[in-house]
Amino acid sequence: MNPDKKIFDISIRGTKMNMSDIISDLNIVGGNKSGKEGELEKEIVDIIKTNTRLSDSDKWSYELSGHSLGANQAMNILADSIESPIMERVKDAYLFNPGITPTHDLDVAKRATNQERFHFFLNSGDLVSNAAIAIRDGDSKSEVFYGVPGSSPMANHSIDQWVTSTEV
């Protein structure tokens, strides 16, 4: 929650090594959807509705961010979220290394690249999110930040590349 800017950020984590997340990742490989989008959208709507009870809630907006699995889910939820009008309060989505399969159903990802509220954080050395680079074209409206590719595939996919630390 950023009270100065009146923004709530809702974050969706990436894969943990548990059966549920691994099945979600396999669903993405098979069709670019985890199968958990409906459940997550309901949870996001509940968060927004709960915060709507704040006295000045109409002045607040929301951001949705996710890494890898979470970025894929955020993209799928928001690219077509007009099904749930309250989701219009989500003004920006920050997608860090979204997991996208290049061979199956890229329609949602293409729609996301043509919406200004999407901000992609990509690394050309990341095999998991390379499809997001490939589907962009000159007309893409989403903002993109590129990480510096290294020799480690794990580092190229890691959320750590997007975090800066300051020593005190």
Contacts of 1 (CB under 8 A, 6+ apart): 7, 8, 9
For position 56, what pLDDT does the model report?
63
How does pLDDT run across 97-126, given as a tens digit for each residue?
A: 998 887 777 888 888 888 888 999 999 998
| pLDDT lower than 50: segments of the chain | none
For position 82, what pLDDT does the model report?
53
| Residue of 42, 115, 37 lying closest to 79 (CA atoms) | 115
For position 148, what pLDDT does the model report?
92
For position 36, what pLDDT does the model report?
80
pTM exceeds 0.75 for this model: yes
Q: Which amino acid is at 43?
A: E
For position 42, what pLDDT does the model report?
87
C-alpha distances in angstroms, 60 versus 4, 9, 33, 44, 53? Answer: 10, 11, 29, 15, 11
Cβ(119)–Cβ(94) under 8 Å? yes
